[in-house]
Amino acid sequence: MLKISIKKKKVKMNKERRATAKAVRMDPDTVLIVRDLTKIYTVGNSTITALNKVNLTIRRGEFIAIVGPSGSGKTTLINCLGALDFPDSGEIIYNVDSKGMGLDLMLMTNKQHKKIRLRKIGLIFQFYNLFPILTAYENVELPMVIDKKDSKVRKEKVRGLLKKIGLEERMEHLPAQLSGGEQQRVTIARALVNDPLIILADEPTGELDTETTTNILKIFLDLKNSGEALLMVTHNRRIAETADRIITLTDGEFTGEVKGGKPIEEIYK
Ligand SMILES: Nc1ncnc2c1ncn2[C@@H]1O[C@H](COP(=O)(O)OP(=O)(O)O)[C@@H](O)[C@H]1O
Ligand SMILES: [Mg+2]
Instruction: Please indicate whether residue 6, judged by its CB atom, sits closer than 6 Å to ligand 1.
Output: no
Measured between alpha carbons, how far is 259 from 19 in angstroms, rounded to an integer?
Answer: 41
Task: Find the 69 Cα to ligand 2 centroid distance in Å.
Answer: 9
Q: Which atom of ligand 1 is nearest to the CA of 69?
A: 22
Residue whose CA is at the smallest distance from ligand 1 atom 27: 71
pLDDT value at residue 14:
46
Q: Which atom of ligand 1 is nearest to the CA of 252?
A: 14
Query: What percent of the chain is predicted at pLDDT more than 70?
Result: 92
- pLDDT exceeds 70 at position 19: no
- pLDDT exceeds 70 at position 196: yes
Answer with the residue of higher pLDDT: 13 or 215: 215
Segment 115-130 mean pLDDT? 94
Instruction: Please indicate whether residue 72, judged by its CB atom, sits closer than 6 Å to ligand 1.
Output: yes
- pLDDT exceeds 60 at position 120: yes
Task: Find the 231 Cα to ligand 2 centroid distance in Å.
Answer: 14
pLDDT value at residue 258:
97
Segment 99-112 mean pLDDT? 88
pLDDT value at residue 1:
43
Measured between alpha carbons, how far is 211 from 145 in angstroms, rounded to an integer?
Answer: 33
Please state the three-class secondary structure of the chain as a single string.
Answer: CHHHHHHHHHHHHHHHHHHHCCCEECCCCEEEEEEEEEEEEEECCEEEEEEEEEEEEEECCCEEEEECCCCCCHHHHHHHHCCCCCCCEEEEEEECCCCCEEEEHHHCCHHHHHHHHHHCEEEECCCCCCCCCCCHHHHHHHHHHHCCCCHHHHHHHHHHHHHHCCCHHHCCCCHHHCCHHHHHHHHHHHHHCCCCCEEEEECCCCCCCHHHHHHHHHHHHHHHHCCCEEEEEECCHHHHCCCCEEEEEECCEEEEEEECCCCHHHCCC
- pLDDT exceeds 80 at position 12: no
Segment 185-200 mean pLDDT? 95
pLDDT value at residue 20:
58
Segment 82-106 mean pLDDT? 91
Q: Which atom of ligand 1 is nearest to the CA of 76?
A: 17
What average pLDDT does the chain have?
Answer: 91
Is residue 42 very low, low, confident or very high in pLDDT (cuts 50, 70, 90)?
very high
Q: Which atom of ligand 1 is nearest to the CA of 202?
A: 21
Residue whose CA is at the smallest distance from ligand 1 atom 18: 75
Is residue 8 very low, low, confident or very high in pLDDT (cuts 50, 70, 90)?
very low
Instruction: Please indicate whether residue 86, judged by its CB atom, sits closer than 6 Å to ligand 1.
Output: no
pLDDT value at residue 17:
52
- pLDDT exceeds 80 at position 256: yes
